[in-house]
Chain A
Amino acid sequence: MLYIRDLTKIFAPGTPNEHTALDHLDLTLEPGEFVTVIGSNGAGKSTLFSAIGGSFWPDSGSIFLDGKNITYDPEHKRASQIGRLFQDPMKGTAPHMTIEENLALSYSRSQRRGLRMAVCKKDRNFFRESLAEFGMGLEDRMDAKVGLLSGGQRQALTLLMSTIVPPKLLLLDEHTAALDPATAEKVMDITNNIVRKNRLTTLMITHNIQSALTCGSRTIMMDSGKIILDLSGQEREQMTVTGLMELYSAKQHKTLDNDRMLLL
């Protein structure tokens, strides 16, 4: 479904702040695969998501989605096939519009937007049913302004908005990190349900090693713009949180040692 080859992005090239965020990265995702991404700050996880989402063009390399080269497609165009959630619950919704209007806006992404009324009765019922599945009581507040919702509610709504027209790829960038533990768990449950129900190809960044191992079917670890570990199948099933942490620091030390060797 997703096919990335030789992806490189260098920020501020030629200056003392030069930073290689993506370093000849290769990644292939099968249809329906749910992959969790871990790695320290600055490893290039979010940069990878931005490159896929189209916030900038890579310096080199290519990104294929469902067999189509999307490397240079404008952001809004590829957004029709890529759902994206951020850590900040404020980012994914329009606060001064109602729940219903927010949903209508994302629901219309699959079609050409014309002068049809944005919310019709059929849509309204569909929205209500979809929201009711969350068990958050949002289905009774369709006319409430989204700005009045809590962070968890907004994130759940954003999740529904990005998947109401099932995308070919779902990008989750630490979407539960800003929520309290109970709410985070709830949103994570909703995420798992939605992904399973629609068999969505998903990439999820997380700093929670536990959920990195329990969610989805594959885990990749990034460091310095490269994928340094790719776990799946039995190897992943037998992996423990401590085991992964040890592996993580071991791999990082190795790269550090390599750097030191270079300096000497």
Chain B
Amino acid sequence: MTLVVGSLQLGFIYGLLAVGVYIAFRILDIPDLSAEGTFTFGLAVSAALTAKGHPLMGVLFGLLAGCLGGAVTGLLQTKLRIHPILAGILTMSGLYSVNLAVMGSSSNISLVGLDTLFRMAFDLFPEVDKELIKLVLSALFCAVLVAVLAIFFKTNVGLCIRATGDNEDMVRASSINVDATKILALAIGNGCIGLSGALLAQYQGFADISSGIGIVAVGLASVIIGERIFGQRGVTWGLVVTVAGSVVYRLIIALALKSNLFPAYFLKIVSAVIVAAALSVPAVKEVLVRRKIKKEGLRNAVHP
């Protein structure tokens, strides 16, 4: 039971990250690696502000920090015409120093005994089970974010972003500033990612400079698991399913850890393998189908 509850809590918190990754990779169709930096940026800002006694500000500014990082990547990609992958790598490398500076040049911050968002909720409802509060709070963040984004992507601006990922020529011909649209979308996506980091810092009660390593793979794994299990439909569906994918991913990880299949430090390679395996399904399927066609065709061939 604790395993399921814990997976749900983490699933929702990392679900925010997955939604951010979904916006860049699926809606905008841009491989954006800045998440590795912006996730830690949100985490660091949140931890630093919580340590100063402002947990709510921590969440808000964690989100804004993510937006800022995303906007930088967007500027590099569009106005300076740097390749999207390289732009993301540049942002993420640069942010490493920024994050260390935010954390007061130490590689971790402990929030033990300090007021976090979660502890404030505990004090507010002293009679309710703490695990339940954590679950509801993280689920609430996810639900609000998904609802807001689902509506946003049906507005005029949201439509512009979706069309930019679909057909850039058409968007330009419809008198839309493609560069501005991309910058905005990357800012929003990385804002979600920063928010995810900000919540995680307060949830786990510490911040570590290396939290962002491999986080893109985690986000992608959630997106793909969601799509494979629940199928692809509209944007709203995609957002919901991505969060569900994040929860499933956490369950898989928790089960694997519990059964002592592998030690905790194997987490990154597991997520990498999940992503690689899920992405290679169509290619493998095609090879199998072709092999079958060839075999039958050779067997049924009419010889001269």
Contacts and interface: CB of A to CB of B under 8 A. Distances in A.
B166 A79 contact: no
Contact of B174 (A79, A91, A95, A117): A79
B262 interface: no
B157 A113 contact: yes
Report which residue of A75, A90, A161 has the largest number of chain B beta carbons within 10 angstroms of its beta carbon: A75
B160 interface: yes
B contact patch SS: helix
Contacts of A77: 175
Interface residues of B, number: 22
A102 B176 CA distance: 13
A79 B163 contact: no
Interface string A93-130: 11111000110111011000111111100000000000
A80 interface: yes
Contacts, number: 81
Interface string B142-180: 000000000010111111101100110111111111100
Contact of A80 (B156, B159, B160, B175): B175
Contacts of A116: 155-156
Contacts of B162: 94, 96-97, 101
A151 interface: no
Interface residues of A, number: 32
Contact of B156 (A90, A102, A114): A114
Contact of A114 (B155, B166, B178): B155
Contacts of B154: 117-119
Given A95-B167, A118-B158, 5 more contacts: A83-B173, A97-B159, A105-B174, A113-B176, A162-B173
17 contacts: A76-B176, A76-B178, A79-B174, A94-B163, A94-B170, A96-B166, A105-B159, A105-B163, A105-B174, A105-B176, A108-B156, A109-B174, A113-B156, A113-B157, A115-B156, A117-B156, A118-B155
Interface of A: 74-77, 79-80, 83-84, 90-97, 101-102, 104-106, 108-109, 113-119, 161-162
The 5 closest A-B pairs by CB, nearest first: A94-B166, A80-B175, A79-B175, A113-B156, A109-B175
